[in-house]
Structures are given as C-alpha cells and as structure tokens.
C-alpha cells in the first residue's frame, strides 16, 4: 500500500471567529432528538457518545475509507477553534449532521458536519487560576460533551454541569456539582437512564472523590456516590463506605482522601451496571495519607454501581494502597469475548500502572492482567488468584526512607488517550508510553489548601541516583489481543499522543505527535498520515449523504478541527 503524507498549513489571513457568551449563530432546521434507544443502537453513520457506543469501544462499522481507498483521503474542511493555550483532548460527537465538541477552558461549539460552518458557540468565561479560577492539576482541558434529547451537556473547569439547548447553544440549566475549593471537571459527562453522570478531579489539592447523577431534563440531583470514606464521626453514606473505612488509618479525611472520578466510565444496559474508574490518593504517599497502611478502598479501582441509586455493587482495585499516582480513571470498554471456551462479559482497562486488565464485568473477578509497557518496575506481575500486584521490594519507597526511580512515573504507562477495539481483528489499540520517575517521601507532611499535596520530597537532581535508561520507546501504539492478553504488534510513535479510533475498513486512526496516522489494523503498517499540528486529540468518523468523514482536533497555538474525506484537497 502506497503511503502518502499530507501536510496542511492554515491559509494566511484565515478568519478567526470571535467568542461570545451564549448564542452566536443559530442552527437552521430542527434536529432529531437523541433518545435512550438511539444511544443504545449506536447508528453506524453517527458518533453519538464520546466512545461512539455505550460500551466505549470507539469502533465504527463504516468502511468506505479502507486499505484500498485510503490514498484518496484528503482535507475536506477545517475550522479554527477560537480558544487556545491547553491541550485538545475532546472527542467530537456527531448527530443529524451537526458536530459538537469542546476546546480549552470548557469552550463549546457546534459545526455543520458537512462543511465546518459554525452553528453556534458558547464560552462559559471560566477565569484562569491566576484570576481566581479553579486550581487544575494538568491543564485547562475538556474531553467533550454528551447529547440527550434536545440538549448538549458539558462539565466546566469550575465544577458546573451545564445543559445547553442543542439548536441554539443557549443555557437551559446549570448546577454547581462541587463545593468551594479545589475541585474541577475535565471529563465528558455520560447519559445513563435519563440522567447525566459526571465526576470531577482535584485529588492533588486534597479533595474527596465522588460521582453524581442529575436529571437530564431538570438538573436536579438524583444521587451521589462517594469513592472514599469521609470522617467516621459524621457517619457513613452506605455500607460500602463503612467497609472502605476499615482499610484506612489515621485522619485521612483531613486531606480528603482522593479517589476522584475524572475520566473513564461505561454503562451496560443489559447488566444494568454503571462502571467508573477512580483516581489516586490525597496525598499520593500512603505513609502520610494512611500511616498504618491498608488498601485504602476505593482508590485506583474499577467500581460497578447501581445506576438507579449509585450504590456500589462490586469493585476491583488495580493498585491497592496506591503510592505512585497510578490512577484507574483511564478509558475502559465493555466486550463480550470467548475465553478458554467460555463466553465472558468483560470490562477491560489499561490504567496508569502499566498492566492491561481483563475483568468479569458482572462479578468483578480478575480474568487476566499483563504488562503492556516495557518499563514496569514497581511490580513484576499480578497474581490472578488474588487479583493483587506482586510488588518489587523497592516499590514502597516510604518504608525504606530513601528515594528510588520507579516505572512508570505519575504520567502512567497509559493516561487519558482512549483506546479502541476492532471485532474484525480481535485487537485493542492502546496508546502507551514508557516513563520513569523519582519517588521519595517527605520527612513530614503539612497539608496546604490550594497547592499540590503529594507527600513527595523535592530533591535536586544532584542528590538523586543516576536515572535508569528506558528499555523501550517513549511512546508507542500497542495492539493487544484481550482474549489471551498478549501483544499482537506495536509501532513506535512520534511524540505525545492522543487517542485511537478503529473502523471496519481494517484501519486504526491515531493522533500522534503532529500527525493523524492511519495504520493497517491487522499488521500495524502505516498506510497514510496527515500533519495537523502538535497536541492531537482523538479521531472520530461519521457518514453523511453516502460520504464517510474522518475528523480530529489538533494544534496548541492555533487549534483546529480537521475533517478529511475521499478525494479531498491534497494540501501540503
């Protein structure tokens, strides 16, 4: 297959659209409501949820763009996002010919999916941290919106959940989901049984994690489910929190405990279970957070919740007593697989800690776990019988009193970039990375509101041992066969990456470095690429009027939405 590299440069004098709060340009015509039934059926030509379907597979059955036609893929249109300064992490959603997406600082916009013409835009006007805005761990990013009926839902950096009228972008309702302090929202909402479910972030600043469901029509709170226990003197919200408290010691609630739900979720309508991933502890170091040790439930865990009440049904903790910021909030997906001759309903996740997990999604029992990174030095494996990691002697740096380099570092072997599935190849396409970081516990810990509270010492490089060399590439795309939990192929990638999307055209698309790249989904051979600018988000595909489109947002200084079609402009 011939490889063609496409380079795009913005034309000189390209118009920038002015940002306005509220309505800018009204859409014409009446959009079709996105019903519960439509969300469940996942129409092939649309991309209605952040994961395309509620199993979060990010697989499209479209095949007009395939190995035989990929050389004809060219630019159809692009649109400048009039907000810059942060990474682009949003997955656009497409319904009834309109694309809805977010940019930096929770900016929301709707475009004509055929032409890129602006329908409307909404800027919530969230101030920077220096201007009194929220404290944010890792950038003023936003991972997208949710659609339901006649509204678009978005979580804002300042902790608000907002419903916008789908036709106009006007605010229908808004609710403050977080108390005053250092909470923030960067993740996309999910729609579950007529409710909007949203989590939050902020564990580094000392908060208590939770997830909340709101009535999609009115914005009224339906339930709230905490992920770590609060002060026992105040009583426990449910038996799950009472049981969790037995795995903590000291006065963990003073610094909140952590466990924020800032990204991955999935819903199984048949099992009627909502799955969420939880984050790291506050502070990171367990010896300060929970001086007597313990697993510190439900940090760094996959939790299955009753979607009607938020009550936990089961949990699987990927990193018990997390000491390393190995969150389990990374994207997850639901698959039905035949494993050892038995039909299994599974949930899979590749969290920060470097292991790829296949878990029974009805019971929470571990089926398999294998390292997907080259540099995983905190544990040598996972015991399938107990479900617990087999930690290396140096992993618990607090016990030794000396610092140590461990892999992966806090950025993880996999972070926010979504993985995707292809039922034709039986492979999961995982954007992975190798990293190492120096961990050393502080001699004492003094909680400082509004500042990072990790419990780690700040040591000069000259005071550290020599940093070990990585044994693998810094970034890579790994194809994992989840039935056997083995690597099928990998390719080294060209820098900081975004997510992946797979199609029935036997292709996997990946935002990597400055490029949108298409690979042969079976072999990993690169078959096409387009330069779109540093800071790629996650690609999607959709079909209108018999034509398949491929879209990605990219660029830091001049962020854009790029949409490609067959026989588009072969720009350079």
- CA–CA distance, 165 with 325 (Å, rounded to integer): 38
Model pLDDT, residue 25: 36
The reported pTM is: 0.94
For position 137, what pLDDT does the model report?
82
Q: What is the pLDDT of residue 572?
A: 52
Q: Is the peptide bond before 283 cis (omega within 30 degrees of 0)?
A: yes
Q: Between 509 and 452, where is the model more confident?
A: 509
Domain boundaries, the chain: 4-566
The tokens describing 520, both together, are 């042969």
Residue range 374-401: average pLDDT?
94
316: Cβ–Cβ under 8 A, 6 or more apart, which residues?
301, 302, 357, 359, 364, 365, 366, 387
pLDDT of residue 29: 46
For the stretch 289-306, pLDDT in tens is 999 999 999 999 999 999
Give me the phi and psi of 10, to 5 degrees please. -65, 135
Long-range CB contact pairs, 245-251, < 8 A, 24+: 247/294, 247/295, 247/296, 247/297, 248/290, 248/294, 248/296, 248/297, 249/290, 249/291, 249/292, 249/293, 249/294, 250/289, 250/290, 250/291, 250/292
Mean of the pLDDT values across residues 476-493?
A: 98
Helix (H) or strand (E) holding 288: helix 286-289
Question: Residue 85's pLDDT is what?
Answer: 83
Structure tokens at 175: 């609710």
Any idea what the Cα angle at residue 359 is, between residues 355 and 360, rounded to 5°?
175
Residue 557 in this model has a pLDDT that exceeds 50: yes
- Looking at residue 449, its pLDDT comes to 86
Beta strand 281-282 with 301-305 is: unpaired
pLDDT in tens, 264-289: 999 999 999 999 999 999 999 999 99
Pair of tokens at residue 212? 């909340």
Q: Would you state the pLDDT for residue 188?
A: 98
Q: Which residues contact 420 (CB under 8 A, 6 or more apart)?
A: 57, 58, 59, 428, 429, 499, 500, 501, 502, 508
In tens, the pLDDT along 115-134 reads 999 999 999 999 887 777 78
pLDDT value for 492? 96
Any idea which of 8-17, 223-232, 455-464 has the lowest mean pLDDT? Answer: 8-17
What share of the chain in percent tops pLDDT 70? Answer: 94
Mean residue pLDDT across the chain:
93
pLDDT band at 467 (very low <50, low <70, confident <90, very high): very high
So what's the pLDDT on residue 129? Answer: 77
Q: The domain 4-566: what is its CATH number?
A: 2.140.10.10
Residue reference for tokens 């902790």: 159
Burial class of residue 505 (count of CB atoms within 10 Å of its CB; 0-12, 13-18, 19+): buried
pLDDT band at residue 487 using 50, 70 and 90 as cut-offs: very high
Rounded Cα distance, 248 and 270, in Å: 34
Would you give the distance in Å from CA 353 to the centre of its chain?
Answer: 15
Mean pLDDT value of segment 528-537 = 95
Residues labelled as active-site residues: 325
When pLDDT is averaged across residues 493-514 and rounded to a whole number, the result is 95
| Confidence at 4, pLDDT banded by 50, 70, 90 | very low
Q: What number of CA atoms fall less than 13 Å from residue 528's CA on the CB side?
A: 26
Among 67-76, 488-497, 520-529, where is mean pLDDT lowest? 488-497
- 309: tokens are 């009440």
Tell me what pLDDT residue 496 has.
84
Give how far the C-alpha of residue 264 lies from the chain's centroid of Cα atoms, to the nearest Å. Answer: 5
Q: Of residues 28 and 468, which shows the higher confidence score?
A: 468
- The predicted structure's pLDDT at residue 570: 81
Local confidence band at 180 (pLDDT 50, 70, 90 cut-offs): confident
């Amino acid at each position: 297959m011939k490889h063609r590299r496409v380079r795009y440069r913005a034309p000189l004098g390209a118009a920038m659209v002015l940002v306005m709060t509220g309505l800018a340009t009204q859409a014409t015509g009446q959009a079709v409501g996105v019903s519960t039934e439509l969300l469940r059926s996942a129409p092939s030509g649309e991309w209605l949820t952040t994961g395309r379907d509620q199993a979060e597979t990010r697989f499209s059955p479209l095949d007009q763009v395939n190995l035989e036609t990929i050389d004809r893929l060219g630019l159809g249109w692009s649109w400048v996002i009039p907000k810059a300064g942060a990474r682009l992490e949003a997955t656009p959603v497409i319904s009834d010919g309109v694309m809805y997406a977010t940019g930096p600082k929770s900016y929301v916009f709707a475009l004509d999916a055929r032409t890129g013409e602006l329908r409307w835009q909404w800027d919530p006007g969230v101030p920077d941290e220096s201007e009194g805005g929220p404290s944010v761990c890792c950038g003023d990013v936003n991972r997208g919106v949710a659609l339901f009926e006649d509204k678009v839902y978005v979580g804002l950096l300042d902790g608000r959940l907002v419903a916008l009228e789908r036709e106009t972008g006007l605010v229908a309702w808004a609710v403050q989901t977080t108390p005053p302090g250092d909470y923030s929202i960067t993740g996309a909402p999910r729609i579950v049984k007529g409710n909007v479910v949203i989590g939050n972030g902020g564990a580094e600043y000392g908060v208590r994690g939770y997830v909340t469901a709101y009535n999609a029509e009115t914005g009224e709170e339906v339930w709230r489910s905490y992920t770590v226990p609060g002060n026992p003197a105040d009583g426990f919200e449910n038996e799950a929190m009472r049981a969790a408290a037995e795995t903590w010691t000291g006065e963990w609630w003073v610094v909140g405990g952590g466990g924020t739900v800032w990204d991955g979720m999935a819903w199984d309508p048949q099992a009627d279970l909502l799955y969420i991933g939880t984050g790291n502890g506050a502070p990171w170091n367990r010896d300060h957070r929970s001086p007597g040790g313990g697993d510190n439930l439900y940090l760094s865990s996959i939790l299955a919740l009753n979607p009607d009440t938020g009550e936990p049904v089961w949990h699987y903790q990927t990193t018990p007593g997390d000491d390393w910021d190995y969150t389990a909030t990374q994207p997850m997906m639901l698959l039905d697989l035949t494993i050892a001759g038995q039909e299994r309903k599974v949930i899979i996740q590749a969290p920060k800690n470097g292991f790829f997990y296949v878990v029974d999604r009805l019971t929470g029992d571990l089926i398999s776990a294998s390292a997907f990174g080259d540099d995983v030095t905190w544990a040598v494996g996972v015991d399938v019988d107990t479900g617990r990691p087999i930690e290396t002697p140096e992993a618990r740096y607090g016990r030794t009193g000396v610092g140590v380099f461990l892999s992966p570092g806090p950025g993880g072997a996999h972070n926010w970039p979504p993985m995707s599935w292809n039922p034709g190849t039986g492979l999961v396409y995982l954007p992975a990375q190798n990293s190492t970081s120096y961990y050393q516990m502080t001699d004492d810990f003094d909680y400082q509101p509004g500042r990072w509270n990790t419990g780690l010492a700040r040591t000069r490089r000259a005071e550290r041992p020599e940093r070990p060399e990585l044994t693998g590439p810094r970034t890579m795309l790994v194809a994992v066969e989840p039935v056997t939990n083995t690597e099928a192929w990998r390719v080294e990638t060209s820098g900081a990456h975004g997510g992946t999307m797979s199609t029935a055209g036997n292709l996997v698309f990946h935002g990597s470095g400055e490029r949108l790249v298409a690979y042969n989904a079976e072999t990993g051979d690169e078959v096409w690429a387009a330069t779109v600018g540093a800071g790629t988000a996650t690609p999607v595909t959709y079909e209108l009027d018999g034509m398949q489109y491929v879209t990605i947002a990219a660029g830091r200084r001049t962020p854009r939405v790029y949409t490609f079609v067959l026989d588009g402009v072969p720009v350079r």
